[in-house]
Every structure is written in C-alpha cells, then in structure tokens.
Homo-oligomer: A and B are copies of this chain.
C-alpha cells in the first residue's frame, strides 16, 4: 500500500475507470468490440456565467494516449476482474485510430466538438477516462487563467498556486496558465517538463528566520537575499510593518532594488502608499508585486493602482470557482449510424460533427456552426468561416505538426481579440457567441 507518489512505469493504462475494461470484455464476447465508432468530447455548457472556454491539455492527452499500454504490472492489477481473452486483447493494445480536434488555445462554446476520436469501439472507449481527466482539468485552469490575464490588462502575472492543488495537478496547472498568458510559474517541474519561465521572491519564513534574542531583524534578511540574488530581486516587505519594511528594503538594497512584494492587507491602498514611498526614496524603478488570494475580480479592481505584477495562487489552480470543465466523451456514431442517448434532457445530436466559426470582416466572431462531418460546409450567411478541427492523430500516431505550447499561447491571445466586446467582460452572462446546429436533414436545432 505504499504510495510512490511518482508512477515509475511510464504506462498511463491504469489511470482509468474499471468499467472501460469490463465493457471491452462484454464487447469482445458479442463481437461488437470491432465495430467502427466515433466518440466526441464536448461540454454541454460553460462554467456558470462564463463567456467562453479555453481548450487546454490536448498535447498532454495525446502523449498520454501514446503511453496507454498494458504491461505485466498493469495486467496483474486487472487480472482478477477480466477474462483471459480480454487480458490478451489489452496486452496487445495500442490505439490505431484517428483523432481530430480543436487546437490547444482555441476558444470553445457549448456543444463544440473539441475532440473527435475514431476507431473500433474497444480501442476508443478505453481512452474515455484518461482523455477527460486531462482536458477537464487543464481547460478549467486555462479558462480561469485567461480571464485573469484579460483583467490584468497587460501587466504580468506569476503563477504560484502549486501548494493549493495536488502535486502533479500543479504541474499541469502551471502549463495551462502559461498557455493562457501568465508570464511565469513558481513550479520547477513545470520548468523541466514544459520549459516555462520560473519566478520567485521569498516567504515570510525567511524574514522571520532572522530573529534573534534581540528580536526581529528584517534588514538582515533583506541583506542576505540581496547578497545571494542581487539587487534585481523582489523583497517581501509585509512581514512586520510595511512602511518600515519598504524603508529597510531600500536602505539595504539602494534605489536600484528590483521589486517589493505585498502579500496581505488592502492591496490597492498599500500599493499606492508604497509607490509614493518608493518614489520619495528615489526608487522609481522598483516594481510592486502584489499577491494574496487574488482572483480575476481582485486583479481587475487593482487596475487603477500602481501595481506592476500580480501573483496568483489558489483561485488559479482551482479554476476560480470552476475546478472542472464538465466535458463528456460520447459515442455519436457506430458503423456510420448516428446514435444518441434519449433519456431525460441530456440529448445532443448524434453523428460525427464538424464545426466552423464565422467572423465579420473586422475579425469579430459571430457564431459557431456545428454540422455533420460528412456534409459540405454550411451556409455562413456570407461571412468568412474558419474550420475548427485539425488532425491530431492518424493510424494511432500523433501527426507531425501538432501546435506547440508556444503556438497555443499565441493562438489564444489572437482568439481572445476576436471576441465580441462583451465576451471579455468578467460579469456573468451568456456565451459570447451562439452555437448553431445544422444537422443532417438540414434542420437547425
């Protein structure tokens, strides 16, 4: 029962739900396992009040699919619940189908066919849990992060939320946040895995450490930090009295100090006071970093204040009220036959779908049109239309030119500019553009 914390095998095959495997067992017995299927990932709705969603995690999902293999260790775990035929099938498993989807950094809206997985029932159904875990998490973080970036109006934001989420979710959260436009992360594993720029200041503990029998010695802490990291560092000035802290900081570092950080209190009032004080001390270039329970609303509320950089934590890694994206993975087509669940009020149109987004000549997007994948592109009312899906995997292999994390970051920045003006508002409302279904019989739903 020891937890290794790191899974030493590279296999992702057990990061899934048991029922995916027992469904394969049943399908192998009645020969439906090999039927050609199409599964779609989509979200029925956006998080409450949000105007847009951001697709994130695509590259991680594709990598995880490549590592979805059952070796002896994985088979041993499931040997008690599966028959020998199923175990043999799993031992040979590799995904051989195709995947198309929205590129990372693309906006999505309710019903958008974010990912389309084609293959046999068995090879495609087994990826459900893993694909959803990655996309639901990463898109939730990116969606919140994009709003924070908009709220910051060009000022940089440092991601520093690792301690508020699962230790590996933290790494993916750093990646999603960077994709959405944050400037750097505190997380070192994110630096290793994704090359994201890192940043950091210091903790109150470092200042408190410099307490002696004679009492606190903030200046000693500041001097030590500057000795190690240079005057371009950022000193944390709110451990004791902020005004004295700023005075101590400039006294020790001189007016060339890189920055001061304020982590508590009324940040707007304090930022103004500290800016005045720094200017009075001749430290005109010393930047002010604020942190402490900031979300997109708090960031926006500080736009008129002399803040240079924001540090965000909890609200970023928890999706600012929407910690998951609610994406589902639904079977929509079997051997070319559209299928759909009919119970209650969860119906969505069956059949594999494609999507385009129309835009005015100004570049502003107008609507998303979802139509049968095997039909011609729909009428766009004379507007130009961008196809939204790109190839991601063919014959079980990732395509050569999947957009990189940097591409995704750039794509999202451009996509946000294309929103109608109310789409960037932080207030709760409807999706920024409507989704229109143009289904097989020409019906508009």
Contacts and interface: CB of A to CB of B under 8 A. Distances in A.
Contact of A228 (B83, B211, B343): B83
Nearest to A199: B18
Interface stretch (A20-28, A299-307, A376-384, A409-417): A20-28
Contacts of A64: 3, 5, 167
A163 interface: yes
A134 B163 CA distance: 8
A14 interface: yes
A364 interface: no
Interface string A328-344: 01110010010111111
Interface in A202-232: 202-206, 208-213, 216, 220, 223-225, 227-229
A356 B311 CA distance: 37
Contact of A5 (B12, B39, B264, B337): B12
Contact of A26 (B227, B245, B265, B326): B227
A421 B299 CA distance: 41
Contacts of A130: 167
Interface residues of A, number: 127
A299 B37 CA distance: 35
Interface in A1-39: 1-12, 14-23, 25-30, 32, 35, 37, 39
Nearest to A239: B341
Contacts of A210: 32
Interface string A185-209: 0111101111100111111111011
B188 A121 contact: no
Interface stretch (A93-101, A168-176, A252-260, A366-374): A168-176
Interface-central residue, A67, A208, A240, by most chain B CB under 10 Å: A208
Nearest to A81: B198
B318 A188 contact: no
A60 interface: yes
Contact of A344 (B188, B265, B344): B265
A213 B203 CA distance: 66
A318 B341 CA distance: 26
A63 interface: yes
A133 interface: yes
B133 A26 contact: no
Contacts of A172: 166
Copies per complex of this chain: 2
Contact of A19 (B60, B168, B201, B241): B201
A290 interface: no
A191 B60 contact: no
A160 interface: yes
Interface of A: 1-12, 14-23, 25-30, 32, 35, 37, 39, 59-60, 63-64, 67, 73, 77-78, 81, 83, 121, 125, 128-130, 132-134, 136-137, 160, 162-172, 175, 186-189, 191-195, 198-206, 208-213, 216, 220, 223-225, 227-229, 238-242, 245, 264-265, 314, 317-319, 323-324, 326, 329-331, 334, 337, 339-346, 404-405
21 contacts: A4-B63, A7-B168, A8-B8, A15-B167, A15-B171, A17-B186, A18-B191, A19-B203, A22-B200, A22-B202, A22-B228, A25-B228, A28-B228, A30-B227, A32-B209, A77-B191, A137-B167, A166-B172, A213-B337, A245-B343, A265-B345
Given A5-B63, A27-B224, A165-B323, 4 more contacts: A4-B193, A8-B10, A19-B186, A265-B344
